[in-house]
Each structure stands twice: as C-alpha cells, then as structure tokens.
A and B are shown apart, each in its own frame.
Chain A
Amino acid sequence: MIRLKWKRVVSATLSVALVMSVLAGCGAEKNNAQASETSSQSTQTAGTSEKISEEPITISMFLQDSADQAISLDLPIIKEITKRTNISFDFVTGPSTEAQFREKFNVIIASGSIPDVVISPYRDDMLKVAEQGIFEPLEEHIDKIAPNFKKILTDDPNYNKDLKSSDGKDYFLPFIGAVKTFKVWMVREDWLKKLNLKTPVTLDDWYNMLKAFKEKDPNGNGKPDEIPYTTRNTKAGVLSFMEAYGISGFEANEQFFIEDSKVKYAYTDPRCKDALTYISKLYKEGLIDPEYATNDTKVWLSRITNEVAGSLQDTTARAYSLGDQIKIANPKSDASLLVVAPPKGPTGIQMTTSQMQPVRGLTAISVNSKYKEQIVKLFDYFYSEEGSLLMNFGIEGETYNMVEGKPKYSDAIAKDTQGRSILSMLNVFGHREWAYKQDIGYENALLSDKYVQARNEMEKYIKPTIPALSFTESERDIINNKYTEIQTYKDEMIDRFIMGKEPIEKFDDFAKKIKDMGIEEVLKVEQAAYDRYNK
C-alpha cells in the first residue's frame, strides 16, 4: 500500500519535471538555433594573425560567471576566439556574488590543482596567493612575447605600479577600464525648472534646493511626500557630501585618503566633524532619505519612479536610463536627470574621488601550467587592435557593424527586445571581462551624447584616490586584527551622528576612541605600502 502511493509521488514529481524540461527545451532550442544561424552568416574576420598555438590546445580557466548567461564553448565570441587562436577552454566557474565567489576561489587554491588561468576582480585575494608562488611572474614573458601589452605599459607607466605585488614582481594581466568617471551627482532637471531654481553649486545651494524640493511640492501631487535626496548605497551615498570638505572615505577602499603624500584616515580628521554637522542637519530636516541605511536597489528605484526623489548620486549610465524608467512608469512625466558638478565646500573645494580604477580585474597564470607562453600570447592578442575589437565589440556582422569607420553595436546588442543592457547582451554572446583594454566606444554606447558630454566634463573634478595597495603578510596581520573592530565602531557611530542619535559634540571622544583602538598602527602599515607603491 505504501509502495503504491510512493510511486504516485514519484511519478507526479517526475511529470512536473518533465513538463518543465519540455517547456525549457523548446525555449533553449530556439535560442541555440538563433545563435548558430547568425554565426554561420557572419563575415570572415580579417584573420591574418597566425594561430597562436600550432596545435589545438585546451586551457583550464577559473573565472566569475555572469548571471546573464552561463559561459560555454558554444557561445559565439568564445567560438571565434578558438577559431582565431586554436586555443579552446575548460571553464571552472564561480558564482557572481562576491562572498561565494571568493569562497570558491579559496577552495580552488586550497585544493592544490590550480587551473591554467585564474581571473578574479578581488585584488587582495590574488595578491595573497601570488606571493606564495602559485602564480607565474610575468615580466620576462611580457618583455619577450607580449608586444601589445608592453606598449600599453610604456605608454602608461602608472599601470606598472598598480600591478606590482609587495615583493616587487608583476603577476597579473589586467582588465583596463576606459573611463574614469564613476558616480555623478544628478538632480531632477524638470523640478529645478518648475521651482525656478538654478543649478546648485555650493553646499548652501544644495541645502536651499533640497529644502525647496521638500516644501514646494515639485511632483505636484499635493502631498508632502518628496524625498529630496536619496541613495541606495547606504551610508556611502550620504557621506558623499563629505568630499566638499576635502576628505573622502566612504567607499570601501577609500576609508583612507592621500594628502601631501601621507595616508590619512577620514573619520578622525577634524574636517569630518564639519561634514557630519552639515549632513546631520540635512537628515534632521528630512532632506535626506530617512531610510538611507536600509534602502536596496528596489526601494531606491521605487522612490525614483514614484517621483518622490529629487536628487541622488549614481553612475552616469543610470543618469541616462533613469529618466526613461520614470517615463515608462509614468508616461505623462517630463522627468530627466541633470548631471551636476560636485558641491563646492566652504573652502572652495569641489571634488570627487569617486572613480573607476583603470586596472580592475586581474588575470594570472598558474606556475605549473604547461601553456604559459601560449596564454601570454593569447591575452596579448586581446590587447592588440584586432583582439581589442573582438573583446569590446564582438563579431562583425553579428554584434557590431562598421559605420563610418567606427564600430557600432548591432541591434541585437543595443536594442534587445527584452530590454537587457548592452553588457548583458554581450555576455550572452560570450563576452567576459578578461584581460584587455576597454574601448571608450563601449562606454559611449551606453549613453546618449548629452550624457557622454556630462561624463567627460565631470572628469576634471576627480581627485586621485588612494590606489589599491599590496600588503606584506605582517602588514595584513595588523589590518586583520585591528581593522574590523575599528570599522564596526566607526560605521555604527557615524550612522548615529548622522541620525542625530549621538550629538556632534561627542565627535572628539569618538575620534579619540578610534585612536585608542589602534588606527595609528593601521595607518603606519598603509603608509608603508603606499611608499612602496610609489617607489
């Protein structure tokens, strides 16, 4: 009797699974058919380069996968790479969420069998491993067989600094970004017009503008529901006002900043007190989103599309796309976001340290790999003009077309019927952020001309931020031991200052406590690493 019923359960579940598989199979087949159709129609690429490897070889590669599309040998761009170079791949993937990717990375390293190529955007993880002799030092290889990359390094010697480990060697081939501007300040342009306000320049202007947003009902619905400034970056989004005072420290790697060649900590600096006074005032008067500490992208987006948010700081790509998103939700709106220069502080400082580090994403080669030379040549190919075109734009005829001598993304990429972004679509076709130099054409394609211009204009306000440093083992020990504690205390107290739960007068006590917790030791270590960086 029991067996019979069990059978029923099994068959029921199996039939559900079968139905799902059939439904899925139909969809997948269609996708595959599309991809293979177009690739057989693609034009012959100018394949004058001799194959990198005389014989077909397969290299194993560990990388972070994209949630848009799982990487596989069937994807067009990957196929093209193999076609041109005779190198095929055996992918070992890690999840796209940071915590889990880093866990898997460590597990792979611990297992002892390192894939030929390891790619990770997490610099500290890579450095720790490199210095233990897991990765191959690359200077000699670059010198001998990587002319394209060598040229990039000679043109921009700063990259060398970013690539060097604390033992002075270079283990990595980098992904190099094309654009510096990361986050920009933006304001509802139509609200400014409606309330007859000028573009805000100083902190006082900002204060007045935010107050006007709050009190004068710019979204016109008769309810005082406006949230003049919002963020989805929790505390970091609100502390951006700190930069008008000449200090920065809100992004994860920017707790420290450089001044007069010295590494300093933003939160014990007296200017921080002034900044907090201003910010807490904004919070108290309801000019900053009261839920800044808990907002995630979803809530933040609803603030914007419900037209209660008046200003924010986010990527240029968002500045461009949010206007449209608001209009989709509310067709009658004339929303558009104006990119604005960073607020000017009381001493005239107008700056942002928010920028994309040019060197992001590191590729390393296992010291035990049998194919070291071929791998170096492969990535050097990506730095070449032809390879760069492949990595940035994909396959001619399929993902881009040459228009007036410049590559332009095809509609399959730029105008996806499901509304996916350009990057997502490129990922679907097999693009991944391996070691290559990003072309500004990619960044420009993400925006309209108006925003390309705004983005370029903002570059002049970018002040150098503390570079990504390489630490020795003993330096790391000190950071490990002291820093989590300091940061826990700091994060908690700063939020309390902003929210008015802790009076600003207590700031000096707070700064002293941090000193007692050992910030000086940490600074010493950071300074040592920084000096080494500059040598």
Chain B
Amino acid sequence: MRAAAPIASMAQFLQVLLSGLSTGAIYALAAIGFTLVWQAARTVNFAQGEFVMLPAFFVLIGVHWLHMPRWLALVFGLIVAVVVLGLLFKKVVVEPMLPNGGLPLIIATMALSILLKEGAKQFYGAEAQPFPSLFPQTTLHVGGAVVSVQDLMNLIVSLAVVVGLTLFLNRTRTGRRMQATAQNPRVAEILGVNTRRMVLYAFLVNAALAALASFLISPIYLAKFSNGETLGLVAFIAAIVGGFNQIRGALAGGLLIGVLDNLTATYVTTEYRAALPLVLLIAIILWRPQGLLGVDEGRKV
C-alpha cells in the first residue's frame, strides 16, 4: 500500500504533463503563424484566435450543407481558410492599412475578430458543435497515465510543422527570400526579391497553420464561435514568451504554457490558473522581451 501513493501521484503527474504537452502543441501551431505574420509584415493579428476558430466551421459547412465526405470537407475547409484568412485578409484589411501605421491596424484586427466571431455565431449558430476527430479514439496507457492517439498526433504534427517550416525557410529559395523580406524589406527589394509576394506567402502559411490547429483542436474544444477568445490570447502569450523572432520559440512557448497551466491547476491553484500565463507574459516582456528562445534584436534608432 505504501508504494501505491507515490506511483499514483507519479501517474497523475505524467497525466497532466502529457495532456499539457498535447494542448500546448496546438497553442504552438497558432503561435507559429502569429509569429510568421509579425515577422513578415510587422502585423500584430488580434484576430488570430478567430483564425483558429473559423476553419472548423468551414469544414462543418462542407459536411452538413454541401454533403461532402469528411476528407473532402477537410480539404475544402483548408482551401477556404487559406483564401479567406490568408489572401483576402492581406489584400482587404492589411494592405490598405499598412501606410497608416500600427494602431489603426491593431484596431482593425480587433474589429475583425469581433466580425468573425459574430459572423460564425449568426450564420452557423451560437451552440457548440461536435467536430469529427481526425484520428481513432483509442487510448494508450503510459505509466499509469492515459494518452489518446489525438494527444500524440498533436505533438507529432506540431513538431513536424516546426521542422518542416524551419527547413523550408532555411533551405529553399522561397524560404530564404521570405526571411530576407522579414529582416530588411527594402534591401530585399533592391536585391530583386518580390517582397509583396513573400509577405503574401507568410499570410497564406499562417492561414494554413491556423486551419491545421483548428482541425486538431476542435474535436476536444468543440466548434464554437467563442473559441477564439482564449486561443488568441494564449497564442500571443506563447509567441512572446517563447520568442517572437524564432519559429522554435513559438513551439517552446506553446508547450511551456500548456504544461505549466496544467501543473498549476493540479498542484497549486485552480482559481488563479489563468493568471500563470499572464504573469509569465509580464515577466518575460519586462525582463527578456525577446522571449526565452528569441534573439535580441537590439534597439532600432
């Protein structure tokens, strides 16, 4: 009987750790896209949470209204997301506003988040909708903790995305052009890079990542118009805490927040669990604004 207690608590620790990693992996996907858009166009997208909320609804429209088979609806959802949240967003919202500067763009993206949220509510419905899981529901037992296939796939997909994206940005020509555009658009332009197109790619990739995050998270979160509120905030925090100018920073930030949130809720306090990421955010911004894995950009005079 003596041995049961530490084993039981070890199992509990493992449970919340693994669940935290799984949720954190999804936060990471949202944060990565957010970072990309920031780097490429200096745009803080306050509607990022809604970008993750919406693609699930596109899929549901495909399944319930257009009577597509599930796999086709997912592809449909992805394409619509990339077009609407990537292309249209850039052309209709961001581009006209870039000359006006930072604040109007922030306000516009805040208004956009309201528009998307209310739009989902009015046109689809206020109630949460079940969303089909991409993976079988089987569970595995790891050292007393229960892990689902979904949990594992979240982690694997996020890692794959980070690795793939990093390779793409560093090894391919387009990727390097995107990096050049992000670091110094004027020089890149002079050197013959089509900066406008590179910026567009960043938005398209963000939309695709948001869609992916949406498909992975909606089976658990359920598709609901208000999902964007929490997801958006966590995406910002993950991106900033991890490091705004590094892709792996967003991954690290997302995982860290997912795990710490669960650990706090289990071992420290449930009423203030939401405070932890906020305190972390404040601490990082004040003492290490480039984030845990970020690179100090130095002061721009």
The answer to whether A and B interact is: no
Binding site for A on B (CB under 8 A): none
